[in-house]
Each structure stands twice: as structure tokens, then as C-alpha cells.
Structure 1
Amino acid sequence: MRSAEDRYRHGDLDFEAAVREVTGVDVDREFFARIVRGLAVKDPAGLTLSEHDVALLTESGLVTDSAAATAARVDRDIRMQDLVHSSLSVADAAARLGVSTARIRQRLADGTLWAFTSGHNRLLPPAQFTATGGVPHLEKVMPLAAKDLHPLTVQALLTEPQPSLVMEGRPVSIVAWLTGSAGTAQEIEQVADVITTAVWESA
């Protein structure tokens, strides 16, 4: 089967469908309208990207490529939309953990759960939860994650393989590490080091 890019180039697939197929996210015309509106607003440097995105593009040698910069921004916006849709509300989190909404707010205040604001809502990235509850031992390390981290950074930090966390000969994510560990002081310390390093690098 031809790739989405090839079918788009030949007019067999419209842009929205191509992006939907490549990203797996159900994007619509209104979403792209917001992106178009956002792209019309340039910062003084002429590149409306976060410092993190600019750093990544600079490292790859693509920072002067306007198409690559736009693609990076669109990709970030799509991933953010997907995260907003998949995150849990305070009420959802309370139901998932079998506690009151007051208890969730208390945990957000003490940092054992992490949330971001979207509109008027506080949303909790889904990586903090399993299908039936919370990720084991996560409350011991989440207070190390700064509240001003980008939500995508937090989600990626928890779900992407970390070189220093190795199980059965391969790197695993923080969530996989904590789920498969006994929660010993040494195992928790390894995760704490990963989070502390990520926070330091994002500062």
C-alpha cells in the first residue's frame, strides 16, 4: 500500500485525512483553522515555537527550514489536542482511584499527582493511571516534576523508554519500571534521578 504522503501528493487523500492516518489522531477542519490562525501570529524572531522545539530543530540542522518548523509546530499541536482529549478530569481521576474529588485536589496540591490547565479545566495526563487505578509507587516521585513543565513533556517523561531504566536488557519507561518494580528505595531513586535530570534540562 502506498504511503499517506504519496497518496496525498497524487490527490488521492486530502490533507486532513493524511494527517489523521499518519498521527492516529482524529483531527478536524476547526482544529486546522486554529493552527492557521496561530501561524499568522509571528514572534519577533519570525518563528512561533517553544524554546524546546527550537532547540530540537537547531540540533537537527532544520531550524532555518520554515516547512520543518511549521511541521514541528503542527505535530506539537496535534499531540497536545490528543493529550487534552485523553487526560482525566478531577472527577474522572477520583472515580479511577476510588477516592473523593477533594482527595484528588489534595494530591495535586502536594504534587503526588500532576495536572495542567486547559480552558477552565484541570486535566491529569493519562500516563499517571492504569485501567483500574494509579501507577504503583508514582506518588513517591511525582513531587519532583515541576508544575510548570509542559504537559507533553510530562506525558513523554512517563511513557518513553529511559536509557538508565533497564529491564530484561532493554530500556523501559518510568511507568513500566514502576509497574514492574517492588518499589525499593534504590528503584525509586533511579526514577527520581530521571525526573530530576529532565526538570533540570527543561529549566
Structure 2
Amino acid sequence: MSTVDEDLDELLRDRFGMARKDLVLALRTLPAQRPWAARLTEGEARLLDAAGFTEDPENYAQIAAETTGHMARLYSTAYSAAEAAAVLGVSDSRVRQRRLNHTLWALDDGGSWVFPAPQFHHTTDSDDTESDDTESDDTESDGIEFVRGLERVFPRLLTRGLHATAIAGFLESPHPQLSIDGRPSSVKQWLLHGEPVEAVLELLELADWTA
């Protein structure tokens, strides 16, 4: 007979594709206070207002569930420090240095650091374009590369105290200001298309990009 823990593990794997460890880490990113007593930063409050969430426990529960699921996916799909080093073609100490100087995005994974997947992309074709970061000349590892240009974006993005889901949303959600062939693109698509990083840096200065 299966135990409650085994049933929970199976449910998380089958329904959400995540491990219990990832769920616990994700839950720790939420406020510890009761929903109606939680203190939000100005930026977090603006994100919730823009999304149409009011001070309603049911709405809080909905956004908390969505945020938890998103965070769990960020953890479960993240790369280890060793994997990030292999992708970048650098040493573990250089990965640590880049994490500290905010040119590489990392999450605390219960005492170690992992590197969220949105800053990387899978490729099957060689990219002969010159990179702004000389470390990227031999970065391909099993068809995975760092998104060139983010090393200039991250120092301005990661120092804003944003929730990890907001950072992922900035990278992966379409922005009207970043148009490719007449269609809004995400920051990630924009940079992979070879468009100028300066447009992304300008977007960061807009007060309404979180919406």
C-alpha cells in the first residue's frame, strides 16, 4: 500500500512534472504571512495590480498557485553550476564570478545555486555570429547555448529585487516595443534574432513593462 508521501510524489510527477523538492523551494518564495497580512514591495504590488488581482483571499490563492507552479518549473528545469560551466565553456569559479556580478541568473537551491533555463536556448545549428562575451566562442554544449546579449541586460534586471517569475516573464513574454516582422517578440526571441541589445535596455527603463 502506498503512503501519503508516495501518493504526493506520484501526483506531482504526473500532473505537474515536478519533484516535491522543487515544490518546497517554490513555496518558500511566497510571503510567510497570511495572504491578507502579507507585506508587498512596491514592485510586487504593481505586478499584482497590473494582473488584476485585488486584496481577495481567493485571488491571492490563484496567483499563489500559479506562482508556485512557475517557480517549481524554474527549479526543475534549471541547470547546475557544472552544467552552466559546460555551456559557457568556463570554469566553475568563473560561473561563480558571473553569478556575483549579475551577468548570469541564479537561484538559491537550498544551499547551492542553479541557473534557470530561460537564459539558455537549444540549438541544432552552429551560430557563427560573434559574441559580445569572449567566453561564448566555444559555448555550445549538447546543443545548448547562453542567450547572447543577456550578459548586458542582467546587471540592470537582476539588481531590481524582482521575483524570479517576473524575471522569467520579462525574458519570455511578448513586448509590443520589441517587434519582429510586425509581431511583438519576447526579449529572448529578440536577442536570438540578432536584434540590438540597446532596445532591451531601453525597455527596462519603461515603468509599464511589468504589465
Q: With the length of structure 1 as denominator, give the TM-score of the two structures.
A: 0.69
Deviations 1:39-74 (A, max 9, x none): 9x644x734474456545545665243222112112
Separation in 1, partners of 2:170, 2:207:
8
How far does residue 94 in structure 1 lie from its aligned partner after superposition?
0.4
- 1:104 corresponds to which letter in structure 2? V
Is the alpha carbon distance of 1:80 and 1:177 closer, same or farther for their aligned partners in structure 2, counting shifts above 3 Å? Answer: same
Aligned Cα root-mean-square deviation (Å): 3.7
- Higher helix fraction (1 or 2): 1
**Can you give the 5+ residue segments of structure 1 that lack an aligned partner in the other structure?**
1-15
How far does residue 174 in structure 1 lie from its aligned partner after superposition?
0.8
Deviations 1:112-136 (A, max 9, x none): 2121223101122211112322112
**Equivalent residue number for residue 188 of structure 1:** 197
**Equivalent residue number for residue 114 of structure 2:** 123
Q: Are the aligned partners of 1:165 and 1:174 in contact in 2 as well (CA < 8 Å)?
A: yes
**Equivalent residue number for residue 102 of structure 1:** 93
**Counterpart among 133, 141, 144 of residue 156 in structure 2:** 144
Percent identity between matched residues is 28
- 1:97 corresponds to which letter in structure 2? L
- 2:152 corresponds to which letter in structure 1? K
Q: With the length of structure 2 as denominator, give the TM-score of the two structures.
A: 0.67
**Counterpart among 153, 162, 169 of residue 182 in structure 2:** 169
Q: Secondary structure at the match of 2:158?
A: coil
Is the alpha carbon distance of 1:142 and 1:57 closer, same or farther for their aligned partners in structure 2, counting shifts above 3 Å? Answer: closer
| Aligned pairs, number | 177
Is the alpha carbon distance of 1:49 and 1:91 closer, same or farther for their aligned partners in structure 2, counting shifts above 3 Å? Answer: farther
Deviations 1:153-181 (A, max 9, x none): 21111111111100011011111111111
How far does residue 76 in structure 1 lie from its aligned partner after superposition?
0.9
Separation in 2, partners of 1:49, 1:73:
14
Q: Secondary structure at the match of 2:36?
A: coil
**Counterpart among 63, 77, 101 of residue 86 in structure 1:** 77
**Counterpart among 83, 107, 114 of residue 105 in structure 2:** 114
**Can you give the 5+ residue segments of structure 2 that lack an aligned partner in the other structure?**
1-9, 123-143
**Counterpart among 18, 32, 36 of residue 46 in structure 1:** 36
**Counterpart among 73, 97, 102 of residue 64 in structure 2:** 73
- 1:146 corresponds to which letter in structure 2? L
Higher relative contact order (CA 8 A, sep 6+): 2
**Equivalent residue number for residue 137 of structure 2:** none
Separation in 1, partners of 2:208, 2:119:
17
